Amino acid sequence: MIFQRAAALHGHTAKLSNPTLNAIRRDGFFPTKPSRKLHNSKSYFWIHPDGSKMQAVYFFPLEKSFRELLILKAFLSNSVRVFGAGPLGFNILRRDDPWDFELDLSNGTQINVEICSITDRNGFFQRLTAEELLERHSYYEEIRIGILKKILIAFPSSESNELLDQLRDEGRSNSESVKNPFFPPERRLFTSMTDLPLLDTEEQLRTEITKKHRKKHAEKSKTILIVDNRTATAALSDFERLAPKLRPLLDSVQFPEIWLYTGYGGGLKQRNEDYLLLPLKLPSANVEAYFENF
């Protein structure tokens, strides 16, 4: 199986950067560059009842469209590296119309790229969205009351409850702006005592791939599907075990390539990015070329 073979090679060739706080890094999914060199990156620590800690590093840009653009850039860079295609230029012809990207490549081909996301913890996306909202708006001295209320509700405390009560008593409109209590931006530590319920990773993959294949859009046979792996605690070995179970589904969909992307950091400069791209599905003609240049 192509995924297991690629995962095994990654395990033999990737060097683990030193984890912090004596935490165990998530098995198989870890940056190979020190976190201080990564942009748009965030670390999570899962502390277990016995006191042991596990660290997971996540790609964490604050805008969805920017995240998608950097994932596209990583995919194209990876394609040049593993398929030995030489320099490759591209133009974005369309975005979100109907696929995330329609591309014109300098080698004379046109492809589409579609990105979907999975997680393994119920409520994890909502938690990330709330953190992104706070971080994104911390750059502004003033903030709209409607947005401020969303942040205060997402991060309840005695202070946020008092501010919510004050805004309610004053009868302020959500469209008004007030002084931003989260300005200026700073390094923040988000904590939670809640253990989010575990989701079935295989089911999440099946759901997202099937959902994308059911889209009533043409050109699926020239569309690359990238699964953005935003699982919280799933290990690479978990994906290795479930990959064979997905084979019938992967063979039945029209997407010629399906990749699992796990991001740790990213930016406009290559030295600030770190990610792992592993193929779930490739055209048979590309398989050997991939492993020759891995």
Q: What is the pLDDT of residues 143-200, one digit of tens each?
A: 999 999 999 999 988 888 899 889 888 888 999 999 999 999 988 888 876 778 889 9
Query: Is residue 90 domain-shared with residue 143, that is, in the same domain?
Result: no
Does residue 223 lie within any of the structural domains? yes
Contacts of 46 (CB under 8 A, 6+ apart): 53, 54, 55, 56, 232, 233
| Residue 21 CB neighbour total at 10 angstroms | 9
pLDDT, position 99:
97
Query: Is residue 170 domain-shared with residue 280, that is, in the same domain?
Result: no
Query: Is residue 115 domain-shared with residue 145, that is, in the same domain?
Result: no
Tracing tokens 């309610």 back to the chain, one arrives at: 168
> How many structural domains are present in the chain?
2
Tens-place pLDDT, residues 253-267: 999 999 999 999 999
Query: Is residue 82 domain-shared with residue 214, that is, in the same domain?
Result: yes
Of 133, 118, 141, 152, which is closest to residue 62 (Cα–Cα)?
A: 133
- Strands ordered across the beta sheet of 41-47: 24-25, 53-59, 41-47
Lowest mean pLDDT among 182-191, 234-243, 275-284: 182-191
pLDDT, position 120:
93
Query: Is residue 175 domain-shared with residue 262, that is, in the same domain?
Result: no
Does residue 44 lie within any of the structural domains? no
CA atoms of 106 and 129, how far apart (whole Å): 36
Tens-place pLDDT, residues 52-104: 888 889 999 999 999 999 999 999 999 998 887 678 899 999 999 999 999 99
Tracing tokens 């995330």 back to the chain, one arrives at: 100
Q: Which domain holds residue 288?
A: 2-14+63-122+199-292
pLDDT, position 85:
64
pLDDT, position 19:
61
Query: Is residue 139 domain-shared with residue 244, that is, in the same domain?
Result: no
Query: Is residue 150 domain-shared with residue 278, that is, in the same domain?
Result: no
Higher pLDDT, 12 or 267: 267
pLDDT, position 18:
65
User: Contact, 75 vs 224, CB < 8 A?
Assistant: yes
Query: Is residue 106 domain-shared with residue 207, that is, in the same domain?
Result: yes
Examine the fold and report which residue of 149, 179, 209 is the final residue of a domain before the chain moves on. Answer: 179
Query: Is residue 234 domain-shared with residue 110, that is, in the same domain?
Result: yes
- Could you tell me the pTM of the whole model? 0.90
Does residue 30 lie within any of the structural domains? no
Query: Is residue 274 domain-shared with residue 173, that is, in the same domain?
Result: no
Query: Is residue 130 domain-shared with residue 118, that is, in the same domain?
Result: no
pLDDT, position 245:
96
